[in-house]
Amino acid sequence: MGFAFNFKQLQLKTMSFFNDVFGLLYWLITQIFFSFYNLFYAITHPLSWLNWSDKEALMKFIYYGGSQELFFVFVTLFLFITLIGNFYHKILWFFVRILEKFCNKIGHIFAWAGLIMVIQQIMVVFIQRIFTRAEISIGFGIPFEFDISWFAEELKLYNAMVICLCVSYTFIQQGHVRVDIFYSRVSFQTKKIIDMFGSLFFMVPMAVILWMYSWFFMWRHLITPKVSASDKIELLIRKSKILKWNVETIGFSPNGFSAYFLFKILIIALVALIFIQAISFFWRSFLEWKEGENSENKYLELEKFDEFSNVSEK
């Protein structure tokens, strides 16, 4: 009797487990199927989410920017490109080169923020300590004039630009610190499998979670009423009737830097670049794994510092 009872319980649990698994698979397939429709609708009806003069369209943009619908559009595109690239490597290499070139260009441009930060710091010290001025005025006619503390606090923005917008560039140039426990001792093929696993199961999930938090965090400092990741589209449509821009311009000090909303935008840019680099790195590792060691660092645009090293040696 006891054995029959336990067997029946086991049977019920097994059936429940398989129902959950099939339910999850059905949900995933449904989301991927509808992602084609969602992408087609977004492309053919751009004013429904890009016309920000319409408050309802702005709320739709905010909602879908952090929604599962957008996530599955990217998942479907990723699977589709990967499937094609599995048979036509040139197509996948094309996407790898485009994404890496984009990240490199962004890094090249915003790396100059480090130089601007140093120059502005020197300017602040000279004007404050030597010329004993309380403000800096730039321009003619209608000058751009702020207190010296505004320019001093703005230095954090340049630092944030270097960190957030050069992260993928640094990764491509192999400048990130690696904690190597066993990676260097395994074969080339195993290294590529580790790289693919790390891209898909560490970088991408981290980027998705950060995006969900930072996306709505940014909009809470740009508009009112405040929005949340838990808000349904129907609630946001109702909120759109009283929506208005309320851009954060409050600094940490009365005369300090007042554009802190830019830091929230930079967080979004950081997460987007991490996501792009994760996908690009997965595709590169996948192609190198399939093509062998001869394809290692293929099309990789690494910076050359030979002329600088020669000068230092002299």
pLDDT in tens, 244-289: 999 988 777 777 788 889 999 999 999 999 999 999 999 999 999 9
- What's the token pair of residue 250? 């409050």
User: Do residues 243 and 272 share a domain?
Assistant: yes
CA gap 189, 20 in Å, rounded: 35
User: Do residues 40 and 75 share a domain?
Assistant: no
Q: Is residue 309 part of a domain?
A: no
CA gap 193, 270 in Å, rounded: 26
Report the range of poorest mean pLDDT among 33-42, 136-145, 172-181. Answer: 136-145
pLDDT at 274: 96
The DSSP letter of residue 293 is G
Query: Beta-strand (E) ranges in the chain?
Result: 135-138, 144-147, 223-224, 244-245
- SS3 of 147, please? strand
Helix (H) or strand (E) holding 102: helix 89-110
Q: What's the structural domain count of the chain?
A: 3
Q: Is residue 172 part of a domain?
A: no
pLDDT at 112: 95
Range of the domain at 32: 1-45
pLDDT at 125: 86
User: Do residues 147 and 259 share a domain?
Assistant: no
pLDDT at 311: 45
- Per-residue confidence band for 11, with pLDDT thresholds at 50, 70 and 90: low
- What's the token pair of residue 53? 């003069």
| Average pLDDT, integer, range 72-85 | 95
- What's the token pair of residue 86? 């599995």
Euclidean distance between the first and the last CA atom of the chain, given in angstroms as a whole number: 90
User: Do residues 190 and 71 share a domain?
Assistant: yes
- What's the token pair of residue 244? 């208005």
User: Do residues 244 and 186 share a domain?
Assistant: yes
User: Do residues 19 and 4 share a domain?
Assistant: yes
User: Do residues 210 and 128 share a domain?
Assistant: no
CA gap 89, 98 in Å, rounded: 14
C-beta of residue 151 within 8 angstroms of C-beta of residue 120: yes
User: Which residue type occupies 22?
Assistant: F
Report the range of poorest mean pLDDT among 7-11, 90-94, 113-117. Answer: 7-11
Residue 309 has pLDDT above 90, yes or no: no
User: Do residues 142 and 29 share a domain?
Assistant: no
pTM more than 0.85: yes
| Average pLDDT, integer, range 200-228 | 94
User: Helices 68-87 & 89-110, crossing angle to 10 degrees?
Assistant: 130
